[in-house]
Amino acid sequence: MENEIKTTETESDSEIREFTGLFDRQAFEATHVNYITPEKCSFTDCKGYLTMTDKAGGGGPERVMLHLLFPYSSRRTLVSVLNGSQEEIGLISDIDLFEGDDLAAIEKEIDRKYFIRTILKILEIKDKNGITTWRVEERAGDTEDVADFSLKDTYGSIFKVDEKRLLITDQDGNRYEIPDIGALDHKSYRRIELYL
């Protein structure tokens, strides 16, 4: 899905309009998607937050927030750039259009905002009165640990992103990821299989 848009720095907005062919030029303003490219803007990591400098506009660095439009399916494409008032400044179609420090700053901000624990092994699942308690071996950032969490509605809390990937949201709203269900060890798989 994320590969459907390939906006390069040479592609103009009018070309995008021709690409979709839905509207004429008069419709441009209403449907205008401002694609942010390395030519227009640069990004800087300010140790805890991200700033963007509008090269074309000539303004100073402005604090921005990144928002993934499809956080489950892609962390590198279709990234909305919002200002402090949560209004969209523009859209990065693919962060790989950026290079060097810009790319590193963007990646860091995305990792910061879309932090997710990865489940490596399922040690135990206890089912009591419809509430399941999980004990898992997880990786959070650069540390591996054993964690416990509970799911109120187990079936509804496990979301199958695709054939391999699972997202689990516990009753406190924390998210856990199993990147490849097939890569789990046999015992772990047998434990979770019932809920898939």
Partner 1 sequence: MASEMNPKSGGPGRSRTKKNMQDAGAAKLERAGEALGRLMPGQEPVVMACEAFSLDGDNRRCDGILVLLDGGLVSDVSYPDNKYPASGVFVDYDDVEEIVMRRDFGVFSGEAVLKGGGLVPLCHETLKKSAALVPLLKSVERRKNAGEERQGGRREEPVRFCPRCGKPLRPGAKSCPGCFSKGKVFKKLLELATPHWLSILFIVLIYFLLMGVNLISPVLNRVLVDDYVRSEAASTLLKSEPAKVLLPFLFFVLMMLVLRVVNWAISFLRSYVSMKLGIGTVVDIRKKLFAKVQNLSIGRIEQKTTGEIMVTISGDSGQIQGFVNNWLPNFFQQILMLIIISVIMAVYDYRLLLIFALPLPVTIAAIISFHKRTRRLMGRQREAQSGTSAALHDILSGIRVVKAYGTEEKENRRYGDTAARERDVSVKTEVLLAKMSPFIRFGLSVGSYFLLLYTGNMILNGTLTVGECAMFSSYISMIYEPLGWLATFPSHLLRVLTSANRIFELLDEEEEIKTEQGVVRRIDGNIRFENVTFGYDEMNTVLRNISIDIKPGEMVGLVGKSGAGKSTFINLAMRLYDCDSGRILVDGIDIRDYDPACLRGQLGAVLQETVLFSGSLFDNLRYSKPDATVAEVLECSKAAGVHDFAVKLPDGYATYIGEKGYTLSGGERQRVAIARAILRNPAILILDEATSSLDTEMEKQIQDAISILVKDRTTIAIAHRLSTLRNAAKIVVLDRKGIAEEGTHAELMARKGLYYELVMAQRAAG
Q: Which stretch binds partner 1 (CB under 8 A): 15-23, 51-59, 101-109, 122-130?
A: 15-23
Return the residue matching tokens 């402005």.
62
Number of residues that bind partner 1 (CB under 8 A): 32
d(CA 94, CA 37): 9
162 binds partner 1 per the rule CB under 8 A: no
33 binds partner 1 per the rule CB under 8 A: yes
Do 133 and 150 contact (CB within 8 A), yes or no?
yes
Choice between 135 and 175, CB closer to partner 1: 175
Single residue of 159, 171, 183, 193 touching partner 1 by CB under 8 A: 159
Single residue of 15, 88, 145, 180 touching partner 1 by CB under 8 A: 88
Do 98 and 38 contact (CB within 8 A), yes or no?
yes
Find the helix or strand (DSSP H, E) in which 154 lies.
helix 154-157
Q: How far is the CB of 137 from partner 1 (least distance, A)?
A: 26
Q: Which stretch binds partner 1 (CB under 8 A): 24-32, 54-62, 130-138, 177-185?
A: 24-32
Query: What is the b/e burial string over 27-49, where b = at least 16 CB atoms within 10 angstroms of the residue's CB?
Result: eeeeeeeebbbbebbbbebeeee
Return the residue matching tokens 């590198």.
76
State both tokens at 75.
């962390």
73 binds partner 1 per the rule CB under 8 A: yes
Q: How far is the CB of 28 from partner 1 (least distance, A)?
A: 10
71 binds partner 1 per the rule CB under 8 A: yes
72 binds partner 1 per the rule CB under 8 A: yes
List of long-range contacts for 131-136, beta carbons under 8 Å, 24+ apart:
131/171, 132/195, 134/170, 136/176
Choice between 21 and 100, CB closer to partner 1: 21
Strands 62-68 and 41-45 turn out to be unpaired
22 binds partner 1 per the rule CB under 8 A: yes
Give the interface with partner 1 as residue ranges (CB under 8 A): 1-2, 4-5, 16, 19-20, 22-24, 26-27, 30-33, 67-73, 78, 80, 82, 86, 88, 91, 153, 156, 159
